[in-house]
Amino acid sequence: MQKLVKISDRSLFLPPSHETDRPLLAAIVGSERTLLIDAGNSSRHATLFLQQLKALNIQGDWLVITHHDWDHVFGLSEFKIPVISHFNTRDEIKKLQYLSWTDEALDQRVKDKTQTSSSAENINKELGTERDVVFPLPNITYTDQVTIDLGGVSCLIEHVGGDHAYDSSVVYIPEEKVLFVGDAMYANTMNWSYTAEKTLKLIQKLEQYDVELCFLSHQDKPLTKAEYQHELSVLKNIATLIQVFQGDKSSIAEELVNRLHRSLSEDELETIDFFINGLHS
């Protein structure tokens, strides 16, 4: 069972679980109010998070959703507090209200290429036979960004987009120099692709933050400042080179080696492949 981890006196997170694709959930605790980040991939996941918070006498006042993917919203019904999201995220959650989650419906969406086979499999494993998911709509929406004052600590919530989900937002805590990016830095999982245009726009927004710790929703440990800057640098370099060399992997890899002054990791070579996929999507 995943257990809450304390980042500081004001920040805690429940680590992700890869067995059924449970994302990281988090709480930012001010002197007056508490902001929770993401609703989890089921009522069981949400309940686990809320029970562990309750054991520490922490009660959420608001919940923010980073984007509309199933694993971030299926636990919404367990949160009896106002929900904040980008207006596009609210629109996408509203669409989910009309979908069926039976095996037959999931199989059809996989065939139609509107849902990945891995997400269908994880929904099956996480929910079992109880597939009646309830989606309360967010109460508060924003267009670009909104800042929440929790008392002694604030949270800047900003829409950043990206290839993974066009409605992706991040949560930045300036007093802590902590950034929760949700899934914004990940590729489009329908065809495993990045595009140069979306990636460069995303990085331009992310580079404005002074970050000491960066949390990705499906990574066990946060990125340090150096690791975060490295990830941004690699994405930025490949996004630039994909335009210069028009998908020639060997030329892109050779130039990236020259820039990094070392050989490339398997993850970096895979990222090049994802950008090449993006040229043909």
Q: What's the pTM?
A: 0.97
pLDDT for residue 281: 74
202-255 pLDDT, tens digit per residue, is 999 999 999 999 999 999 999 999 999 999 999 999 999 999 999 999 999 999
Question: Look-up: residue for tokens 């508060």?
Answer: 140
